[in-house]
Amino acid sequence: MRRGGRAAGLVRHAALAALAAVYLYPVALMVVGSLKPDASVLPELATWRGLFPERVSLQNYRDVLARVDFLRYLASSAWIAAATVALGLAVNAPAGYALARLRWRARRRALAFVLALLVIPFEAVAVPLLYQVSWLGWRDTYTAQILPFAASAFSIYLFYSFFLDLPRSLEEAARVDGAGPLRAFLLVALPNARPALATCAVLTFLAQWGSFLWPLMVTSGERVRPLPVALAAFHTLPPLAWGDILAFAVMMVAPVVVLFLLFQRWFVEGMAWTGARG
Amino acid sequence: MAELRLAGLAKRFPDGTEALAPLDLEVPDGAFYVLLGPSGCGKTTLLRLIAGLETPTAGEIRIGGRRVDGLPPQARDVAMVFQDYALYPHLSVRDNIAFPLRMRRVPRAERERRVREVARLLGIEALLGRRPRELSGGQRQRVAMGRALVRAPAVFLMDEPLSNLDARLRIGMRAEIAALHRRTGGTFLYVTHDQAEAMTLGERIAVLDRGRLRQLADPDTLYARPADVFVAGFVGSPGMNLVPARVRAGPAGPEAEAAGAPVAVPAEQAGALAPYAGATLTLGVRPEALRVGPAGEGAAWRVAGRCEALERLGHEQVAWVRTGAGERLAARLPARPRPAPGETLPLWAPPGALYWFGPDGRLLAAPAAADAARAGR
């Protein structure tokens, strides 16, 4: 597609570059700030030294690791996110499939129920959920942070619409070829649902990695505390050292970036698929 | 291998549409039967009922004597080739073909041996490592055939397997399917809307229209003695010309008039027409039986009309002619001479070309030659 000439193209690129700069500026401040002495982070924030420091060091990172048990938080976050993703795929894919393909009595009502759940924000159910979790004796556990997020209306809907679009003849061929309904799902439908699996995995992972409110509500100690809550706690831990806080933040974001680089193809595949559906 | 027997098989969809009226059909062991009909006639529904992908409303299905209509698809021992091939995109060609064997827990070595055998039969050995998306349409078609052939099922079901191929490839694959049938000796039931495919492949052809079986016959009979006006108009390209004809009693037997012209009823057909004096029947004449030019003594029906359109087929041409009475007739003519558009063409049919259909559309009388041809088979 070609609209306008070279000049129009330049203007468009300039506009996009400006927009990108707005988004990247805080990220750059975070990275640069984490490498500067604590005392110079805030005073230099609005100056050009904010982005181009006099000297850099990894001292802040050493300080974070010495002051708190960062690796424990990291492990907690990783476990919570990974377990939710695994459980989520195991639960939501079959649920979406059942809604899209199987014939059962309450199917339409179940679908309407799932759609209705989509519009309920988590904050609305957070307090009742807290009661429930407390009653079960799950406060300060990983279970409380994983289990409520495994089944997800959004993911179920995602799989539902994906399986609707998958040619039915694939599973019919599998049935005629000798597979029962379960094997037709596991061996034919599921392996062909990679874009949906990728999207669901990515979105669940990101949501759990960045989740703050709920872990704050159900965790009180250090034992099962994930990174976002740990960061907030670290913030209030004297002495107030902005360089350390930014170093903490960088270390919290880094695993996501690494994962993104490793699984870039999956991220893009998943996003492209959701995007294509409009 | 086994014979397939359908008795009173019917399907009505939940919305009330009758996809298939109660139907009886028997496909002997090792036979190649074709289901032919326009789209929406119920032929694919019939195939899906046999495969177990749809549930019949009534009737029974037996394969090799065993009643299967209550069984799930995987327990029926049929193989199906789908119109869109339905190859598993995530599996290699090898694994696609081996899939039915894997489902039956055939040991790996045996699986590999049979996949190789089928691949050799279909000439796709070089493709075994590829994924379906890396194959051409014709290659995909072969893989789909391979997946059906690999486990020697009781019945092969094919749902328009060639309709997604281009014309040249289609003719080539047609011959291959016929050869495969001869080599495997399997029981085949093949669905198509393409009569050329049906005529070349089918030992017998079941013509379906709006969920009803109109005729079950071998290709020659289907052409020479169509059971009713639907089959007459559907088989042949173009199909038979069908013109309303008034019959009345004359001094020397029944007389008829069609498209404003008298029809000399051949003596051997007079008996069949006699009871219909005063009624309107349908006169049928194949486009290839119509001649152009001044008729000699031998003409049974003479009708002139304006040439409205011309289809050039190279070795011959089809002229579409509108008669004075408003009937539209197709005439298959030699490539030369070529009529000008709008030119008036004198057409005539010999007595040996007349078909008569009753008020209910059923065949009353066919040309004597057609009967003779049938008897001579």
Q: Which of B176, B198, B230 is the last residue of a domain?
A: B230
Contact: A179, B74; criterion CB under 8 Å: yes
Q: How far is A255 from chain B (nearest CA, A)?
A: 30
Q: Which amino acid belongs to residue B312? A: R
Domain that includes residue B57, residue range: 4-230
Number of domain units in chain A: 2
The reported pLDDT for the residue numbered B377 is: 43
Q: Are residues B212 and B252 in the same domain?
A: no
> Is the per-residue pLDDT at A1 higher than 50?
no
Q: Are residues B343 and B196 in the same domain?
A: no
The reported pLDDT for the residue numbered B132 is: 94
Q: Are residues A96 and A47 in the same domain?
A: no
> Is the per-residue pLDDT at A270 higher than 70?
no
ipTM rounded to 2 decimals:
0.84
Q: Residue B195 in 3-state DSSP? A: helix
Q: Are residues A82 and A197 in the same domain?
A: yes
Query: Are A73 and A226 contacting, i.e. CB atoms less than 8 angstroms apart?
Result: yes
CATH of the domain at B346: 2.40.50.140
Using alpha carbons, select from B229, B268, B226, B224 the residue that is nearest to residue B245: B229
Q: Are residues B63 and B44 in the same domain?
A: yes
Contact: A177, B99; criterion CB under 8 Å: yes
Residue A188's closest chain B neighbor by CA?
A: B88
Residue A15 lies in a domain: no
Q: Are residues B244 and B160 in the same domain?
A: no
Q: Are residues B182 and B245 in the same domain?
A: no
Q: Are residues A59 and A106 in the same domain?
A: no
Distance CA B290, CA B285 (A): 7
The helix (H) or strand (E) run that includes residue B248 is: strand B241-250
Q: Are residues A103 and A53 in the same domain?
A: no
- Chain A within 8 Å of B80 (Cβ-Cβ)? yes
Residue A183's closest chain B neighbor by CA?
A: B103
Q: Are residues A148 and A267 in the same domain?
A: no
Distance CA B153, CA B64 (A): 11
Q: Are residues B170 and B319 in the same domain?
A: no
Q: Which of B230, B265, B286 is the last residue of a domain?
A: B230
Q: Are residues B222 and B346 in the same domain?
A: no
**DSSP-derived secondary structure letter, B212:** E
Domain that includes residue A148, residue range: 78-220
DSSP string over A138-163: -TTSHHHHHGGGTS-HHHHHHHHHHH
Residue A231 lies in a domain: no
Contact: A173, B86; criterion CB under 8 Å: yes
The reported pLDDT for the residue numbered B371 is: 61
- Chain A within 8 Å of B105 (Cβ-Cβ)? no
Residue A1 lies in a domain: no
Q: Are residues B147 and B255 in the same domain?
A: no
Q: Are residues A83 and A216 in the same domain?
A: yes
Q: Which amino acid belongs to residue B323? A: T
Mutate to test the interface with B, among A102, A105, A168, A177 (most CBs of B within 10 A): A177
Q: Are residues A245 and A209 in the same domain?
A: no
Q: Are residues B223 and B275 in the same domain?
A: no
Residue A189 lies in a domain: yes
> Is the per-residue pLDDT at A36 higher than 90?
no
Q: pLDDT tens-digit profile of A51-103?
A: 788 788 888 899 899 899 999 999 999 999 999 999 999 999 999 999 999 88
Q: What is the mean pLDDT of chain A?
A: 89
Mutate to test the interface with B, among A105, A162, A176, A269 (most CBs of B within 10 A): A176
Alpha carbons within 13 A on the beta-carbon side of B54: 21
Residue A121 lies in a domain: yes
The helix (H) or strand (E) run that includes residue B184 is: helix B167-184
Q: Are residues A95 and A50 in the same domain?
A: no
Residue A2 lies in a domain: no
Residue B251, classified by CB atoms within 10 Å of its CB into exposed (0-12), middle (13-18) or buried (19+), is exposed
Give the pLDDT band (50/70/90) at residue A238. confident
Q: Are residues A132 and A242 in the same domain?
A: no
Query: Are B49 and B39 contacting, i.e. CB atoms less than 8 angstroms apart?
Result: no
Q: Which amino acid belongs to residue A86? A: A
Query: Are B290 and B273 contacting, i.e. CB atoms less than 8 angstroms apart?
Result: no
Residue A170's closest chain B neighbor by CA?
A: B86
Q: Are residues A106 and A184 in the same domain?
A: yes
Structural tokens at position A172:
């019919």
Q: Are residues A272 and A195 in the same domain?
A: no
CATH of the domain at A168: 1.10.3720.10
**Between residues A268 and B204, which one has the greater pLDDT?**
B204
Nearest CB neighbour to B88, from listed A175, A180, A188 = A188
Residue A275 lies in a domain: yes
Helix (H), strand (E) counts: chain B = 10, 21
Residue A132 lies in a domain: yes
Q: Are residues B203 and B76 in the same domain?
A: yes
Number of domain units in chain B: 2
Nearest CB neighbour to B86, from listed A172, A178, A183 = A172
Q: Which of B210, B230, B250 is the last residue of a domain?
A: B230
pLDDT in tens, chain B (377 residues): 689 999 999 999 988 888 999 999 999 999 999 999 998 899 999 999 999 999 999 999 999 999 999 999 999 999 999 999 999 999 999 999 999 999 999 999 999 999 999 999 888 999 999 999 999 988 999 999 999 999 889 999 999 999 888 888 888 888 889 988 998 889 999 999 999 999 999 999 999 999 999 999 999 999 999 999 999 999 998 999 999 999 999 888 899 999 989 999 998 999 999 999 999 999 999 999 999 888 777 889 999 999 999 999 999 999 999 998 889 999 999 988 888 888 999 999 999 999 999 999 999 999 977 665 555 44
What are the chain A neighbours of B151 within 8 Å (beta carbons)? 178
CATH of the domain at B208: 3.40.50.300
Using alpha carbons, select from A222, A258, A96 the residue that is nearest to residue A165: A96
Distance CA A34, CA B13 (A): 68
Contact: B72, A174; criterion CB under 8 Å: no
Q: Are residues A146 and A214 in the same domain?
A: yes
Query: Are B225 and B217 contacting, i.e. CB atoms less than 8 angstroms apart?
Result: yes
Distance CA A159, CA A153 (A): 10
Using alpha carbons, select from B20, B18, B37 the residue that is nearest to residue B8: B20
Q: Are residues B270 and B193 in the same domain?
A: no
Query: Are B257 and B245 contacting, i.e. CB atoms less than 8 angstroms apart?
Result: yes
